Amino acid sequence: MERSFDDAVAAFLNHLAHVRRLSPHTLRAYEGDLGLLRAFLASSKSKGLLDLELLDLYALRAFLAARHQHDSTTSTLRRLSAIRGFLAFCRKTGRVKHSVALLLESPRRPRQLPRSVSVDEAFALCDQPRKSSPSSSGSTDPLALREAAVIELLYGAGLRISELCGLGLGDVDVDARSVRVVGKGNKERVVPFHDVCAAALSAWLSKGRPLVVTAASGDAFFLGARGKRVIDSELRRRLARLGVEAGARARVHPHKLRHSFATHLLEGGADLRGIQELLGHASLSTTQRYTHVDVARLTRVYDAAHPRARTTFTKPAGRS
């Protein structure tokens, strides 16, 4: 019985990796979610729950209830997505007749506005790798050149960190000022970038990458110190440290630069549909989150500028 559950999970993860081409980060998350479900079912009094045909709605609700005190709403929604996707796969492959997960209700996701850095903070962060470089005059620090190129590309093209780490040499055209990106769901898009970003990428290619390239580098565009394709965790750590050194008000992470890319484009007058295409969002509703950020900014501008908004209201005497 246990092996049937494990085999189904293995087949599902293989499907996600090679057919749907989901990112390694998503695969790890789904594997962890289904591992927690398996552990819960195995610890239940009825070991028969590990038989997929005997898995019912009550068991799934009990699992989510048991996780409620530990999980945020976002984690719960992801676990639901993992379970629904897994049981839908099992139904399509004939492992179960019906997917009971379809009857599970989702908690309401709290509306969270994307957090971004200011334009001044973004500029300071872009300049920080050069300032932090320990290289002496006349020498080259390849990692500083890499970090400069990474930050310029995250902020200048709005890439996800997984998209950036997956870039190959043939994906970046410095002369044409564009990068070919394979995003979520294996969807491809081409994103332009500006001249400053092009200069940073060119410096990395000509002066930085040759100093760390090895036989194991392949066609990876961004490399780690040992010459292998750089991993996202390394870039996250470096970016957080550079953010502190640049004086950012809050922790800087790659997705915050993606949010900043979209927010600053919108503030500059860019079309929402165009921003959607640049970000690779499947739905315009996802991109529309940034309109709330812009409205909040406009409200502050309005309150500070409009003469009636700056007028203090005094309640007339005699009115309650």
| Number of neighbouring beta carbons within 10 Å of residue 292 | 13
* Max CA pair span of the chain: 85
Residues 303, 309: Cα–Cα separation, whole Å = 5
Residue in the structure block whose two tokens are 């009990």: 62
Q: Which amino acid is at 240?
A: A
Q: What is the DSSP letter of 220?
A: B
| Number of neighbouring beta carbons within 10 Å of residue 17 | 14
Residues 67, 314: Cα–Cα separation, whole Å = 52
| Number of neighbouring beta carbons within 10 Å of residue 159 | 27
Residues 141, 204: Cα–Cα separation, whole Å = 10
The H or E element containing residue 173 is strand 172-173
Q: What is the DSSP letter of 162?
A: H
Residues 258, 155: Cα–Cα separation, whole Å = 6
Residue 186 Rama label (left phi>0; alpha psi -120 to 50; beta): left
Nearest to 153 by CA among 131, 138, 136, 171: 171
Which residues participate in catalysis according to the annotation? 160, 184, 255, 258, 281, 290
Q: Are 272 and 291 in contact (CB under 8 A)?
A: yes
Q: Are 293 and 114 in contact (CB under 8 A)?
A: yes
